[in-house]
Amino acid sequence: MKKLILAFLILALCAVSGVSFAQETPALKVKVSVSPEMKSSFIKGGRIILYLTRQKHKEPRNGFDIVVGVTPKNWDPSTDFVLDTRNPEVITAGTFSEFLNSTDQFYYQVLYKQNPDDGQENVPGNMYSQIDSTRYTPNANLSLKLQKIIPPFEIVKHKFVKPVVIQSNYLTEFSGRPRYLRASVLLPSNFFDHPEKSYPICYRVPGLNGRYDGINGMMRNKDFTDWWFSGNAPQIIYVFMDSQGPFGDTYLVDSENNGPCGKALTEELIPEIEKLVHYKKDSGKRFLAGASTGGWVALGLQIFYPDFFDGTWSYSPDPVEFEHFGLIDIYHDESAFYSRYGYLQPESRTTLGDMKWTMKECIEEENVLGKTGNYLISGGQFGAYNAVFGPKGKDGLPSLMFDPITGKIDHAVAAQWEKYDLKKVLQKNWATLGPKLQGKIWVWTGDMDGLFSNVATRFLKMYLDKTENPKSDAKISFTPMAGHCQEWSDKAVVTMVAEKAAGK
């Protein structure tokens, strides 16, 4: 009672003296223009994203403290657009007031997100400015010019690397504009000695929003390339996949919003790749591997196409069942932001269990990046989830599974995610899927996964351990205290694939 009386006295004194607890939110204005040489590449309807950081040695668009976004209405590139944070259509993520109230110098950069076929920011076709810096002063008028465009991906030129790019008839028809499928193929060291031989082939699925230029980093890894070309590495064709989609990662499966991506993969892209490398489709040595999002895709494709693929290695997969979507039960919980106990729902953690980011903070950032002013088509993790797993809405865009501001779950939409809930798919179809999946599933993860995905994997294992007719022989293991993708190794995966191909 004494504490309560003291609080009221403090409030009364502040009212008499004119002191306020609320601090006025600082405003920021940035004039954005388009350089003359960029105007012919400008596409109307894109989103302006402003990045702010105090990190001196990093481009703000590649590492930021604060992000600001707005979608200009009918912006003509011949005129300037003024991004004013007092405009209610401008939204921010991060401690914006605290950031600007500091007198320290900060760095800022703007990007114009306009690529209609790729939901990400730092991808070909989007424009960006140089970096500038300043110290904040009230009513400061800053300016930035869009004068660079992100170029197309380039694949390293190497005798043993073959890029494959084809236009997809299925996806082009679905979208009403050309859409392409991409992959890059790493050939085994003996390939040119036996060019007509049918080698085992493994399709390596990237992590979230990964691209087929992932092979470039592999070819820069001297430890890997020395091993690969030593003659001691397994003689396997290793294919780097691409998950580009208009709403972010497509997960390479058919969906209402992204189109028939699984059909395009299995009927258009893979046949083209295997024709190039002389793979015999009846050899029974077509495999999958991936980590994180790639881990989910590798397992999902094996389940959805049990006869087409001959084995999968899935590491740290995204949630494989949605009663444990991280720590959220999408079918029964009321909110994605707050737990059933009323606490903020964590989105990520350290391997010691400390919370790094909440779901609410994660979605606030995706709301900034999305052209609609919410995470619906942000191109981020949850925007991608909605596009892949959810139904198409009446406006032709994906349907939100939960409210972007309150986190309230729409259970009618959540129920439609069931067709991608891998545990439920197996439960409903075990009599037919079980026999086809024998000897084909390897899953492993850290038991302190940073995104809590190990929880769903645990429940998948519990189900598979109880199966009958047949009894599942899936190998699912957990490493104590290991984090998300901590133990991923391409060398280890290729070796395991080779052992399977050799019948060991």
Looking up residue 267, the CATH number of its domain turns out to be 3.40.50.1820
Integer Cα distance of 361 and 337 in angstroms: 9
Q: Using N-to-C axis directions, what is the helix angle for 293-304 and 422-437, rounded to 10°?
A: 50
Domain that holds residue 301: 161-321+421-501
Q: 100-103 long-range CB contacts below 8 Å, 24 or more apart?
A: 100/26, 100/28, 100/136, 101/23, 101/26, 101/136, 102/54, 102/136, 103/135, 103/136
Q: What is the pLDDT of residue 8?
A: 39
In a domain, 6, yes or no: no
**Domain co-membership, 476 together with 340:** no
In a domain, 305, yes or no: yes
For the chain, state the CA radius of gyration.
Answer: 25
In a domain, 132, yes or no: yes
Q: What is the pLDDT of residue 57?
A: 83
- The runs of H, that is alpha helices, within 311-369 are 359-369
**Domain co-membership, 275 together with 398:** no
Integer Cα distance of 18 and 402 in angstroms: 42
Integer Cα distance of 450 and 341 in angstroms: 21
In a domain, 5, yes or no: no
**Domain co-membership, 381 together with 310:** no
In a domain, 411, yes or no: yes
Question: Residue 365 corresponds to which tokens in the numbers above?
Answer: 């950032």
Series of mean pLDDT values for 10-residue runs along the chain (504 residues):
40 39 67 96 96 91 95 94 94 88 90 95 97 87 95 96 98 97 98 94 97 97 96 96 96 98 98 97 96 98 98 98 98 98 97 96 96 94 96 94 98 98 98 98 97 98 98 98 96 96 90
Degrees to nearest 5, angle at CA 361 with 109 and 99 = 45
**Domain co-membership, 67 together with 124:** yes
Residue 441 near residue 299 (C-beta atoms within 8 A): yes
CA of 130: how far to CAs of 42, 145, 210, 269, in Å? 17, 7, 25, 38
Integer Cα distance of 422 and 33 in angstroms: 47
Length of the chain equals: 504
Chain centre to alpha carbon of residue 425: 23
**Domain co-membership, 331 together with 283:** no
**Domain co-membership, 228 together with 344:** no
**Domain co-membership, 338 together with 302:** no
In a domain, 14, yes or no: no
Q: What is the pLDDT of residue 100?
A: 84
**Domain co-membership, 287 together with 352:** no
Question: Residue 26 corresponds to which tokens in the numbers above?
Answer: 């600082």
**Domain co-membership, 277 together with 394:** no
Q: Minimal CA–CA distance to 364: which of 356, 351, 374, 372?
A: 374
In a domain, 461, yes or no: yes
**Domain co-membership, 250 together with 274:** yes
Secondary structure of residue 350 in the 3-state scheme: coil
Q: What is the pLDDT of residue 22?
A: 36
- The runs of H, that is alpha helices, within 308-417 are 359-369, 381-389, 411-415
**Domain co-membership, 34 together with 127:** yes
**Domain co-membership, 167 together with 255:** yes
Residue 30 near residue 50 (C-beta atoms within 8 A): yes
Domain count, the chain: 3
Integer Cα distance of 292 and 213 in angstroms: 18
Q: In which element (H, E) is residue 201 found? A: strand 201-205
In a domain, 373, yes or no: yes
Q: What is the pLDDT of residue 25?
A: 63
Question: Residue 30 corresponds to which tokens in the numbers above?
Answer: 């940035």
Q: What is the pLDDT of residue 400?
A: 96
Degrees to nearest 5, angle at CA 398 with 253 and 290 = 30
Give strand ranges (E) for 251-405: 254-255, 259-260, 286-291, 312-315, 346-349, 355-358
